[in-house]
Amino acid sequence: MQNKPYAQIITVGLAIFSMLFGAGNLMYPLYVGLQSGANTMYGMMGFILTAVCLPLLGLVSMILFDGNYETFFKRLGDSVGNILIFACMIIIGPGLVIPRIVTLSHTMIAPFLPIPFLQTVTLQSSFAFALLFLGITLLATFRENRIVNLLGKVISPLLLLSLIIIIAKGIFTADVPVPSMVTPLETFKSSFMIGYGTLDLLGAIFFSSMVIHILKNTMGGTVGFSQKRLALIGLKAGTLGVSLLALVYIGMSTLSMYHGHGMNATGDLFRALAFRVLGTHGALIIGTAVLMACFSTAIALSAVIAEYFQLTIFDRKIGYEAALILSLLLCIPLSTFGLDYVMQLTGGPLVSGIGYPVIIAITSCNLAYKLFGFKPIKAPVAITFLVALVSYIW
């Protein structure tokens, strides 16, 4: 029994890692290594600031708010809070992130699929793949209380193992790094913005809420349960999860730094690099890495959105299962538009240009409120919104 808390921390930490390490996370660190070349160390510093430190801030904030994202956002007022929560749910669900996961996974594994029709990315094959991918996600997400164990004990170990094999082989066979065409400072700045595109702060906020909710349900009746113990387990597990995230990012950027010669920053970069490192016999490992990364985040996001639909949109008038089916059906249309279109939305004004800076400001103010008693939030967030809006227009 003494070791049980440690086993729980490891399981939850691995689950948090796999929730955050989704489709985009297979691309972005590779872009850093490819564009930074010999300056990858500076690129990783910028990338980790936005792709690892921001999610960690979100995780700590949500633990301090006891996993209640409504209280977290409604410090701005009920109406504004409700609008922001709804907008975030659309972004991480049918309006961007889940379709991005579906289209990217199809782009990456199309040549490995056993059905010839799915091996070319077209409107029709994208629709069929979306049905298949989201159908499997539905089955994996149907029992909400089992999600953390599924992610922490099955998906995350498979994901880590496949990535370690690819990264280790790449480092052991490394030769000359890709030449860098920019200065270390320019590398730092551009990689900082690449990390920004992961949108993992949003994921951390809502995933932490779900994990804390599930931990409460599973630990609530145990001896010695307390909010302090729950918060401590959440903090340790979250630190483990984001630490793994940082280590994998460093490994993947190193992979593209040494093996990215002649390649372009496209959606199939991971597949191309992994093939270069492992050869054609590595198809199973490559496919496992892609599918585990994509399914892990899709499963977690689907559960978050289904719970929001059930409790908030429909006010408990429908069950979790019906809300889950509805949320996944809404993801199908955008999943057929192709990767390029979905990636353009990621960099659009409503997401990266204006929306994300506002979420960062809210997180920072809420963290300062809980740690130091800093009460202002409306003015800092309004200023952030105006500056982001003017910067984007200008």
Q: Which residue has the higher pLDDT, 139 or 223?
A: 139
Mean pLDDT in residue range 252-259: 93
Quote the CA–CA distance of 195 and 210 in Å, as a whole number: 24
User: Considering only 139-153, 158-172, 338-352, which range has the smallest mean pLDDT?
Assistant: 338-352
The DSSP result for 148-177, as a single string, is HHHIIIIIHHHHHHHHHHHHHHHHHT--SP
What tokens does 66 get?
A: 């006891």
Q: What was the pLDDT predicted at 1?
A: 37
Quote the CA–CA distance of 365 and 84 in Å, as a whole number: 15
Look up the CATH superfamily of 5-339: Amino acid/polyamine transporter I (1.20.1740.10)
Q: What was the pLDDT predicted at 3?
A: 46
User: Considering only 126-135, 170-179, 227-236, 289-298, which range has the smallest mean pLDDT?
Assistant: 227-236
pLDDT over threshold 80, residue 265: no
Q: Please work out, in degrees rounded to the nearest 5, the angle formed at the alpha carbon of residue 102 by the alpha carbons of 127 and 299.
A: 120
Mean pLDDT in residue range 321-342: 93
- Domain spans of the chain? 5-339
Mean pLDDT in residue range 151-157: 90
pLDDT over threshold 60, residue 223: no
Q: What confidence tier does 7 reach under pLDDT thresholds 50, 70, 90?
A: confident
Q: What was the pLDDT predicted at 221?
A: 52
pLDDT over threshold 80, residue 13: yes
Quote the CA–CA distance of 244 and 230 in Å, as a whole number: 21
pLDDT over threshold 90, residue 187: yes
Q: Which residue has the higher pLDDT, 7 or 94?
A: 94
Quick one: what percent of the chain has pLDDT higher than 70?
Answer: 94
pLDDT over threshold 70, residue 353: yes
Q: What confidence tier does 2 reach under pLDDT thresholds 50, 70, 90?
A: very low
Span 55-113, pLDDT tens digits? 999 999 998 898 899 999 999 999 999 999 999 999 899 998 999 999 989 988 888 88
* Sequence-separated (6 or more) residues with CB below 8 Å from residue 335: 98, 99, 102, 103, 126, 127, 129, 130, 133, 134
pLDDT over threshold 80, residue 122: yes
Mean pLDDT in residue range 382-390: 92
Q: What was the pLDDT predicted at 347?
A: 66
Q: What was the pLDDT predicted at 224?
A: 56
pLDDT over threshold 60, residue 290: yes
Q: Exposed/middle/buried for 183, CB within 10 Å: 0-12, 13-18, 19+?
A: exposed
Quote the CA–CA distance of 259 and 261 in Å, as a whole number: 6
